[in-house]
Amino acid sequence: MANIEKLEALTTQTRRDIIRMVHKVNSGHPGGSLGCTEFLIALYNDIMDRKEGFDMDGIGEDLFFLSNGHISPVFYSVLARAGYFPVEELNTFRLINSRLQGHPTTHEGLPGVRIASGSLGQGMSVALGAAEAKKLNNDNNLIYSLHGDGELQEGQNWEAIMYASAKKIDNLIATIDLNGKQIDGATDDVLPMGSIKAKFEAFGWIVLEIEEGNNIEAILKGMTEAKSKSGNGKPVCVLLKTIMGHGVDFMMHTHAWHGKAPNDEQLAIGLEQNPETLGDY
């Protein structure tokens, strides 16, 4: 499928953007960003029904909320390459006077961002509010959100998860990046959470699983199914199994690159593994 080839080319380019961005300022979070690259590219370039340009209220279009704001490198690259702001601006990531703050914010007026995130656990509540606003406005478009699995340790999520099913928020598709890792190590070592699937189901959600969360085709299939489950009186959760650091071999299968930038040599290896496809910024 031509579309899949196009999305895969975009994925490789976004991987380059991510590691170049964090390398330049020697800070930022490449691991989770690389793991969610296919997902965000599929979402913004296929799954979501988006309008041209950016308007905060987003009436008549699908909206996305990033709750785990530390994966800002992938978010910024995907937004820029979807046309929200010039790709050259990726050069300013984490620099003084930039709209591309360490964690996403509306405060500097960056198009594409609708809420500040970074302090974890708040995004699902915000997504619920936006979903309620859509219902009040008789707007049939959907709300998408992304959350880290470690992030589910924040209690506010469970307030939101309880509310979503109680109030039949069926225009929300919340995706959990199930990479099994957090800063201090494996989630199963830091604070084992048991079955996240069983937990969401117990709270009354429809739960879908995407086993290959770094495979564009699998994501498109899974998210299309998720869309088909919306509007049925229940919120929808997608458990997206990803590999942290995917696409840069030495960053994969470890939490070591959660919040660490590559040095010059490591950058070169990473770029070699992800050849330029659409032009570097």
Partner 1 sequence: MKTYTYTEKKDTRSGFGAGMTELGRTNPNVVALCADLIGSLKIQTFIDENPERFFQVGIAEANMMGIAAGLTIGGKIPFTGTFANFSTGRVYDQIRQSIAYSDKNVKICASHAGLTLGEDGATHQILEDIGLMKMLPGMIVINPCDYNQTKAATIAIADHKGPVYLRFGRPAVPVFTPADQKFEIGKAIKFTEGTDITIVATGHLVWEALEASKALNEKGISAEVINIHTIKPLDNKAILDSVSKTGCVVTAEEHNYLGGLGESVSRVLATHRPTPQEFVATNDTFGESGTPAQLMEKYGLNSEAIVRASEKVIKRK
DSSP structure class, residue 147: E
Q: Residue 12: what residue type?
A: T
Minimum distance from residue 130 beta carbon to partner 1 (Å): 4
171/214 with CB nearer partner 1:
171
11/122 with CB nearer partner 1:
122
Minimum distance from residue 166 beta carbon to partner 1 (Å): 8
46/61 with CB nearer partner 1:
61
Both tokens assigned to 216 = 């564009």
Both tokens assigned to 63 = 């909206």
Axis-axis angle for helices 216-229, 2-25 (nearest 10) = 100
Minimum distance from residue 146 beta carbon to partner 1 (Å): 15
DSSP structure class, residue 87: G
In sequence order, the β-bridge partners of residue 206 are: 236
Both tokens assigned to 153 = 């340790």
The burial of 142, by beta-carbon neighbours within 10 Å (0-12 exposed, 13-18 middle, 19 or more buried), is given as buried
Minimum distance from residue 57 beta carbon to partner 1 (Å): 5
21/161 with CB nearer partner 1:
161
57/225 with CB nearer partner 1:
57
Minimum distance from residue 100 beta carbon to partner 1 (Å): 16
Exposed e or buried b per residue across 81-116, where buried means at least 16 C-beta atoms within 10 angstroms of its C-beta: bbebbebebbebbbeeebbbbbbbbeeeebbbbbbb
Backbone φ and ψ of 28, nearest 5°: 115, 180
- The answer to whether 96 and 123 have CB atoms below 8 angstroms apart is no
Minimum distance from residue 32 beta carbon to partner 1 (Å): 19
Question: What is d(CA 109, CA 37) in angstroms, rounded to the nearest whole number?
Answer: 24
Q: Which residues bind partner 1 (CB under 8 A)?
A: 56-59, 63, 65, 105-107, 114-119, 122-134, 136-137, 139, 155-156, 159-160, 162-163, 166-167
Question: What is d(CA 54, CA 83) in angstroms, rounded to the nearest whole number?
Answer: 10
41/113 with CB nearer partner 1:
113
141/187 with CB nearer partner 1:
141
Following CA atoms 120, 123, 126, 127 in sequence, which dihedral angle do they give, to the nearest 10 degrees? -170
Minimum distance from residue 274 beta carbon to partner 1 (Å): 33
